[in-house]
A and B are shown apart, each in its own frame.
Chain A
Amino acid sequence: IAPAEASSNLSRYDGVRYGLRIDGANLNEMNVNTRTEGFGDEVKRRIMLGTYALSAGYYDAYYGKALKVRRLLAENFAALYKEYDVLLSPTSPCTAFKLGEKVSDPMTMYVNDVCTIPSNLVGHPAISIPFGHGQDGMPIGVQILAPPMKEPVMYQVAHTLEMAAQ
């Protein structure tokens, strides 16, 4: 979903009104030159993925499907929140790795987001606080997720945990 929306949101960087412009023989060439030069690799990757997911013939299988999955996810959360006030999880699946260590491995990079993506998808509040250290001595983050409009509860729990960790 994010790459699909990004592929559309990023269209406005076409060199016409603001920002970088690299000229070409005609309008189309100018657009292509500008965007090729102006976007980094990761952005280009997401734009291509997103455009693919939205294209004719693939929309239903990818973007359309993803929207439905998101709806199911939201319903899952709603069901959980009937029983629980807040949810806890690690903020990321592993402790911090060195700068530049995994940048050339996009899949691993994406997997690192897996704990924080759900709240963004379903539109619920969440907060991350430091909570102790791992065996390798690197800090660990704990995520508290709450239902919509329940930020006060979320902050209370987060504050309590933060105090306890010190």
Chain B
Amino acid sequence: MNQEIFKDNWELIVGLEVHTELATKTKLFCGCLNQFGNEPNTNVCPVCLGLPGSLPVVNETAVYFAMQLGRALHCSVNRSVFARKNYFYPDMPKDYQISQYDLPTNLEGYLELPSGETIGIERAHIEEDTGKTTHIGTSGRISGADYSLVDYNRAGVPLIEIVSKPEIRTIEQAKAYVSELRGIILALEISDAKMEEGSIRVDANVSVREIGENDLRTRCEIKNVNSLKSLGRAIEYEANRHIGLYKNGESPRQETRHWDENAGRTRSGRSKEDAEDYRYFPEPDLVPLNPSEETITKIDQEMPELPSKRREKLANQTGVKPSDVALLVERNHDVFALDVIERGGLPDQVVKHLVNNLSAGLGELTAESLAQLVQMENKSEITSTQAKKMLGELVQRGGTPAELATELGFEAIETNEIENLVDQLINEHSDEWERFCSGDTKVQGFFVGQVMKATSGQADGKLINQILNERSTSK
């Protein structure tokens, strides 16, 4: 992997832990509804409340989703064992979390970024989510709170935790990683993955080292990053903090830090040194999961079209730059684009229109209409300015370009008509024309404007300029 310089002679090392809530009907170990936004403590039962004597039963769909994600990330799907992660906290009803430890469902995969770079994936395992605590007090955090409230609706919701290898080297890569992972999750339809709702959460492990070093230095885990923008800011802040410490002859402590969005900085949280011993052991109330070869084959065969495949398809049809292709796939306009191209729209031009003029959405515009529009533009039946205006109308109210052109009175203004107009203007504005001929380019806008005025904006700007230049050189 190329060594990228983050700052001066320092290299940025980032690993991301992404948690995604699965969109199953019910929770991971009980039949309670898996739903966001209900009244607190209404989707609960003895199992997810951890009442004495309750026992977990695995949700098959959650496991299937996990294996699908694993295969989409090129992981090996393995026999897995649930494990208890023991620690005390009010949002965990059993005071242990049922997760996976040394035998997770998915191991050793990779994620391909739109740029073509790949980031290694260490593992993707299944675990249950905790409840949600709200601390009532001045800081909104547990220290200094007057009292706290716990909502267990979320306790027991299935999560997949995807752990990347520390191979991310730039902030752009970090953001692209999360975006692409989210794109894959959405394509699989296993989660709605919304950062604002917490159905996808990102923790960043950040460290730095000098270019040329082989070993990794101390890292800090950053939590409470709630958007891609925050992710970038948090990584940048933390990396700079580490560099600052090293330059001072100090070094960062290995710890978990909390990203403060308002203050734009990270703050010390739990120290990872006197870190909890989670006393992991195999969950005695559950049997190991042992997916069959047939199941894994079925998953591979049923794999939907992932973003990378969609980008490849569109890139094969056009010659535009990769970022435009990625943009269309992200906006879900790639299928539409391919449709337009198939109907005869010139590929690069189709993409140009979609990227530049249709970011707000397609509305009533049909693929056939866009194809016709592009063809009309190519045959110079309409100018690009006219095309843009027509697009706006087609999006708003549909119809066909041919009808619309007639309705709007768009006709191509003949070349000799423009030539006549230009000659007329030259006669009427000899001073300005002198200035233009002697190199005053500012006055060009005046002439173009006058022609446009005379033709009610229908003339082709390119053509006007061409004629102006011809006239000035021939005189």
Residue positions of A touching B, CB distance < 8 A: 4-5, 8, 11-12, 14, 16-18, 27-28, 31, 51, 54-56, 59, 63, 67
Contact = CB atoms under 8 A, between A and B. Distances in A.
Contact of A12 (B50, B280, B282): B50
Interface of B: 49-52, 84, 86, 88, 90, 93-96, 142, 150, 277, 279-282, 284
Nearest to B279: A54
B277 A55 contact: yes
A8 B50 contact: no
A14 B95 contact: yes
Contacts of A55: 277, 279
A63 B284 CA distance: 12
A161 B343 CA distance: 88
B281 A27 contact: no
A59 B142 contact: no
A27 B279 contact: no
Contact of B52 (A12, A16, A27, A31): A12
A8 B96 contact: yes
Nearest to A64: B281
Contacts of B49: 17
Given A11-B94, A12-B94, A18-B51, A4 B281 contact: yes
B54 to A, nearest CB: 10
26 contacts: A4-B281, A5-B284, A8-B84, A8-B96, A8-B279, A8-B281, A11-B86, A11-B96, A12-B50, A12-B93, A12-B94, A14-B90, A14-B95, A16-B90, A17-B93, A18-B51, A28-B88, A31-B88, A51-B279, A54-B279, A55-B277, A55-B279, A56-B277, A56-B279, A59-B279, A59-B281
A28 B95 CA distance: 13
A28 B142 CA distance: 12
Contacts, number: 43
Nearest to B51: A18
Nearest to B282: A67
A17 B91 CA distance: 10
A98 to B, nearest CB: 32
Contacts of B52: 12
Contacts of A59: 279-281
Given A17-B50, A51-B279, 16 more contacts: A4-B281, A5-B284, A8-B84, A8-B279, A11-B95, A11-B96, A12-B50, A14-B90, A17-B49, A17-B93, A27-B90, A27-B142, A55-B277, A56-B277, A59-B279, A67-B282
A67 B95 CA distance: 23
- Which residue, of A4, A12, A54, has the highest number of chain B Cβ atoms within 10 A? A12
Contact of B88 (A11, A51, A56, A63): A11
Contacts of A5: 284
A131 B257 CA distance: 66
Contacts of A16: 90, 150
A91 B127 CA distance: 41
Contacts of B50: 12, 17
A54 B85 CA distance: 11
Contacts of B142: 27
A5 B142 CA distance: 30
Nearest to B53: A9
